[in-house]
């Protein structure tokens, strides 16, 4: 399925581990020929084989910014798949030197009990949820935000449809 996305997009996904960020990013890329995904976790693993935060987070985020801008300049909309727990990180990931780009912060919102259950199923415990609690900040500032609920697949589909409608709209 290919959608009729209007314009060039820099979309930053922000949410706790196992909130659905990667599933959303992969779906956007699969269904939109001119979308590319940049995954923060893959870069950490590739460069340092370390869990966040790794020994050089600044390098990881600098590489993300370079890849994002290069992809945007080549005409690809970018989906940045990152926990992005604080407003400084979100603002950095949304900012681009490329002109005429629509920017959007997608906040994945999942009930705490669901997050804990998903993390226990995947990792054997919920330590990552509690670790991110210490860094998590509510979004603020002038970045456009789309709140994406992902407690189950039915809800994911409803919010995915709403997100696509926004990306296809004439007004952003």
What is the percent of the chain with per-residue pLDDT over 90, rounded to a whole number?
73
The pLDDT value recorded for residue 52 is 74
What pLDDT score was predicted for residue 2? Answer: 53
d(CA 65, CA 55): 18
User: Quick one: pLDDT band at residue 139, thresholds 50, 70, 90?
Assistant: confident
Burial class of residue 146 (count of CB atoms within 10 Å of its CB; 0-12, 13-18, 19+): middle
Residue 172 pLDDT: 56
- Tell me: the pLDDT tens digits for 14-67? 999 999 999 999 999 999 999 999 999 899 899 999 877 778 888 999 999 999
pLDDT top residue among 105 and 1: 105
The mean pLDDT of the chain is 91
How far, rounded to the nearest angstrom, does the alpha carbon of residue 135 sit from its chain's CA centroid? 16
CA 24 from centre of chain: 8
Cis peptide before 53 (omega within 30 of 0): yes
Q: Tell me what the mean pLDDT of segment 139-159 comes to.
A: 93
Query: 73's torsion region: left (phi>0), alpha (psi -120 to 50) or beta?
Result: alpha
Rounded Cα gap, residues 107 and 43, in angstroms: 21
Residue 155 has a pLDDT of 97
9 has pLDDT over 70:
yes
Among 15, 19, 27, 37, which Cα is nearest to 157's?
Answer: 27
Contacts of residue 22, defined as CB under 8 A and 6 or more positions apart, other chains included, come to 39, 81
The Cα–Cα gap between 116 and 93 comes to 27
Examine the pLDDT at 162 and tell me if it is beyond 70: yes
Could you list the beta-strand ranges (E) of the chain: 9-14, 35-39, 77-81, 102-109, 145-149
- What does the angle CA 52 – CA 127 – CA 23 come to, to the nearest 5 degrees? 65
């Amino acid at each position: 399925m290919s959608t009729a996305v209007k314009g060039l997009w820099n979309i930053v996904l922000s949410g706790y581990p196992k909130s659905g960020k990667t599933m959303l990013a992969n779906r956007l890329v699969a269904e939109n020929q001119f979308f590319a995904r940049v995954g923060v976790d893959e870069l950490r693993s590739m460069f340092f084989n370390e869990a966040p935060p790794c020994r050089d987070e600044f390098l990881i985020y600098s590489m993300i910014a370079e890849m994002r801008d290069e992809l945007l300049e080549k005409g690809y909309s970018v989906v940045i798949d990152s926990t992005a727990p604080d407003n400084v990180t979100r603002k950095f990931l949304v900012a681009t030197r490329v002109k005429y780009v629509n920017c959007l912060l997608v906040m994945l919102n999942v009930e705490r009990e669901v997050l804990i259950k998903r993390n226990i199923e995947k990792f054997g415990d919920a330590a990552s949820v509690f670790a991110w609690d210490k860094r998590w900040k509510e979004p603020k500032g002038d970045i456009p935000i789309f709140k994406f609920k992902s407690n189950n697949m039915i809800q994911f589909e409803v919010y995915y449809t709403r997100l696509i409608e926004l990306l296809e709209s004439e007004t952003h």
